[in-house]
A and B are shown apart, each in its own frame.
Chain A
Amino acid sequence: MLLEVKDLRVEFPTRRGVLTALNGVSFSIAPGEVLGVVGESGAGKSMTGAAIIGLLEPPGRIAGGEILLEGRRIDNLPLAEMRKIRGKRIGAIFQDPLTTLNPLYTIGRQLVETMQAHLPLSDAEARQRAIGWLEQVGIPAAAQRIDAYPHQFSGGMRQRVVIALALCAEPQLIVADEPTTALDVSIQAQIIALLKRLAREQRTAIMLVTHDMGVIAETADRVAVMYAGRIIEIGPVRQVVRHAQHPYTAGLMASIPPLDRKVERLAQIDGSMPRLNAIPPGCPFSPRCPHVFERCRVSRPELMPAGATDAACWLHDQPGASA
């Protein structure tokens, strides 16, 4: 396994007590694999990504569990060690390309400094490679555009630059946090296709955080569904989309409007996700679940085999049951 996350717990100390933002999150990513992470806002998807690259916003902190990169723990590394992993072994792509690039430096300079921070390259070599990367991500006339500033590019072009920046030190894993959310729909498909192609060519694994099931279905090999700081279902993307085993996932899939027929009313999940300070005991989804029974309200289900996926739902603890 390239990346293993085991029982990760992230806490935010606040004046009114400690909030647990992530609780018992476990998953792994194989080399070259694309893992999609979906969920509503506040479910903890972005926070999982931030914890992996060691950039949780203070006062958030990892309060338990382990993160292993090729078998070596990286969640408790000193800052200087972690710096060598960021960019070099785990790259990152952020949501809004308009704000992720430093407005005062040319994109070439930003590429060169990133490569030189991790690879023994001379200025001329780094510049050559920077032009190469810009060509790779589809910036036209890269040799001329390398000395342009971020504001001289459109949003889609800037996200291509960000992708080049994430890939330029050749990391094994990229944490992409909503990489297409801020872009026009027509650009989204291009960026996803680009990301997918480069990941395949470079054998780079991707953790793709998004709330867009369409992007996930298109791109991911496996998908993890998060709810209230937990993974509630994880499995091959095809299985999760077609045969969701957790009632929440099933509800999510049902709420995607079908294109081939007209529906009077879109399916929806009643209620909303609990606040972090008011997560019910037992299964966090139990207050909204159409299949809830007594056990769900008192004890919390862990991920368990359910059909072709793993789901955290007591329905699957009974022989022969399904959601």
Chain B
Amino acid sequence: MVAFVISRLLQALPVLLVVALISFALFTFVGDPVAAMLSQDASAADRENLVRLLGLDQPWYVQFWKFISNAVQGEFGLSYRLSRPVSSLIAERAPATLELAFCAAAMTLCIGVPLGIFTGIYKDSWISRLLLTVSLVGVSLPIFVLGMLLILVFAVQLGWLPSFGRGETVQIGWWSSGLLTASGLKALILPAITLAVFQLTLITRLVRAEMLEVLRTDYIKFARARGLSNRSINFGHALKNTLVPVITIAGLQLGGIIAFAIVTETVFQWPGMGFLFIQSVGAADIPVMAAYLLLISLVFVVINLAVDLLYYAVDPRLRAQR
């Protein structure tokens, strides 16, 4: 088990290195940071000074090594746009994105999986057909359209919920939480729904398809022939057999929710990492973009590891092959 975790971590290293290389390449190919940092009337000597200070006169592999060793220590340099350390910018924004992502993920799983089970078991009832039709809308509606529709109805016309921002937050150490105040919770509802709807409908359809598949198998028929209760067949035997593909997709979705909250955060002016990233792209703020890229790849690597470990917990056949 420990050997497995270590080997997966070792496999993740090349992935992270390649992403680091791409992030690093951004500095070289996108814009000239020296020109951006110097004032209009700087002399050639000033310029050379700055180049030496930034280490830009070194060969690329030395620079890359420095980039990586800094990144490992959480050091990504100064933001061009805000002239503040990138690490503290991201630390400020991360709680907003993570709270939004986990609320959306919780909504996805707590609603999507039961709906999938229901529509799988009662595949011919009219409620299932209705849910499936509605889910088709959810799958095909672009996130930004949904976000704006929600704002239009619940913020502009009904005035029940705020249309942007995070509301009041409470500081717990370095973590700023919007989950503890009424206005923070209210502000979370619309963006969380917006972010969750697509994933929710996807997971519903996936769980349904898997349930239909599993309910057709011989071992479910045999479980019926053994006289087990429907409850035990549907939830004990069938659901557990659908879990491996569901875990895979749910893991990817969680990564996707964190990484691609960009659109939702932009629509709702949500002060998270995605919004920060979009602003940085606009200003060619390379250090922030590079740090964001690395962070997201790390998130995916960690989630994939967690997914692999969950396979082990669910399916004994995988345990045996090791």
Residues of chain A whose beta carbon lies under 8 Å from any beta carbon of chain B: 53, 55, 79, 83-88, 91-92, 94, 96, 99-106, 113-114, 117-118, 149, 151-152, 162, 165-166, 169
Number of interface residues of B (CB under 8 A): 23
**Chain B: which residue is nearest A168 at the CB level?**
B226
B224/A151 in contact, CB under 8 A: no
Q: Is B43 an interface residue (CB 8 A)?
A: no
- 8 pairs, A vs B, C-beta closer than 8 Å: A55-B224, A85-B227, A103-B241, A104-B241, A113-B232, A149-B317, A151-B316, A162-B222
Partner of A86, one of B225, B232, B315: B225
B218/A94 in contact, CB under 8 A: yes
**Chain A: which residue is nearest B219 at the CB level?**
A102
Supplied contacts A83-B230, A117-B232, 18 more A-B pairs, CB within 8 Å? A53-B225, A83-B229, A84-B227, A85-B227, A86-B225, A87-B227, A94-B221, A94-B222, A96-B218, A99-B217, A99-B218, A103-B241, A104-B315, A114-B227, A114-B228, A118-B227, A151-B316, A169-B227
Say how far B198's CB is from chain A's closest CB, in angstroms: 30
Partner of A101, one of B222, B230, B236: B222
Chain A hits for B224, CB < 8 A? 55, 86
A104/B240 in contact, CB under 8 A: yes
Say how far B268's CB is from chain A's closest CB, in angstroms: 41
Say how far A213's CB is from chain B's closest CB, in angstroms: 25
Known: A96-B218, A100-B218, A100-B222. A117 touches B227 (CB 8 A): yes
B320/A152 in contact, CB under 8 A: yes
Bound complex: CA A248 to CA B230 (Å): 43
What 7 pairs across the A-B complex have the smallest Cβ distances? A87-B227, A92-B225, A86-B227, A99-B218, A87-B226, A100-B222, A149-B316
Q: Is B223 an interface residue (CB 8 A)?
A: yes
Query: Considering residues A84, A104, A105, A106, which has the most beta carbons from chain B within 10 angstroms of its beta carbon?
Result: A104
Chain A hits for B225, CB < 8 A? 53, 55, 86-87, 91-92, 94
B314/A92 in contact, CB under 8 A: no
Kindly supply a per-residue 1/0 record for chain B positions 231-247, scoring 1 wherever the CB is within 8 Å of any chain A CB and 0 otherwise: 01000110011000000
Chain B hits for A94, CB < 8 A? 218, 221-222, 225
**Chain A: which residue is nearest B214 at the CB level?**
A102
Chain B hits for A91, CB < 8 A? 225-226
Kindly supply a per-residue 1/0 record for chain B positions 198-225, scoring 1 wherever the CB is within 8 Å of any chain A CB and 0 otherwise: 0000000000000000000111011111
Partner of B316, one of A79, A99, A104: A104
Query: Considering residues B225, B237, B317, which has the most beta carbons from chain A within 10 angstroms of its beta carbon?
Result: B225
Residues of chain B whose beta carbon lies under 8 Å from any beta carbon of chain A: 217-219, 221-230, 232, 236-237, 240-241, 314-317, 320
Partner of A165, one of B218, B226, B230, B314: B226
Bound complex: CA A169 to CA B218 (Å): 20
Chain A hits for B240, CB < 8 A? 104
Chain A hits for B222, CB < 8 A? 92, 94, 100-101, 162, 165
Bound complex: CA A152 to CA B321 (Å): 11
Bound complex: CA A219 to CA B217 (Å): 29
Chain B hits for A85, CB < 8 A? 227
A117/B317 in contact, CB under 8 A: no
Chain A hits for B232, CB < 8 A? 113, 117
Bound complex: CA A162 to CA B226 (Å): 10
Say how far A242's CB is from chain B's closest CB, in angstroms: 35
Bound complex: CA A84 to CA B218 (Å): 20
Chain B hits for A96, CB < 8 A? 218
B320/A149 in contact, CB under 8 A: yes
**Chain A: which residue is nearest B221 at the CB level?**
A55
Partner of A117, one of B228, B237, B314: B228
**Chain B: which residue is nearest A99 at the CB level?**
B218
B217/A114 in contact, CB under 8 A: no
Chain B hits for A92, CB < 8 A? 222, 225-226
Chain B hits for A86, CB < 8 A? 224-227
Chain A hits for B241, CB < 8 A? 102-104
Bound complex: CA A96 to CA B237 (Å): 18
Bound complex: CA A55 to CA B228 (Å): 13
**Chain A: which residue is nearest B232 at the CB level?**
A113
Chain A hits for B223, CB < 8 A? 102
Known: A92-B225, A117-B227. A103 touches B317 (CB 8 A): yes
A151/B320 in contact, CB under 8 A: yes
Query: Considering residues B218, B227, B315, which has the most beta carbons from chain A within 10 angstroms of its beta carbon?
Result: B227
Query: Considering residues A79, A102, A118, which has the most beta carbons from chain B within 10 angstroms of its beta carbon?
Result: A102
Say how far A154's CB is from chain B's closest CB, in angstroms: 14
**Chain A: which residue is nearest B316 at the CB level?**
A149
Say how far A180's CB is from chain B's closest CB, in angstroms: 16
Bound complex: CA A169 to CA B230 (Å): 18
**Chain B: which residue is nearest A177 at the CB level?**
B225
B227/A88 in contact, CB under 8 A: yes
Bound complex: CA A100 to CA B217 (Å): 8
Say how far B226's CB is from chain A's closest CB, in angstroms: 4
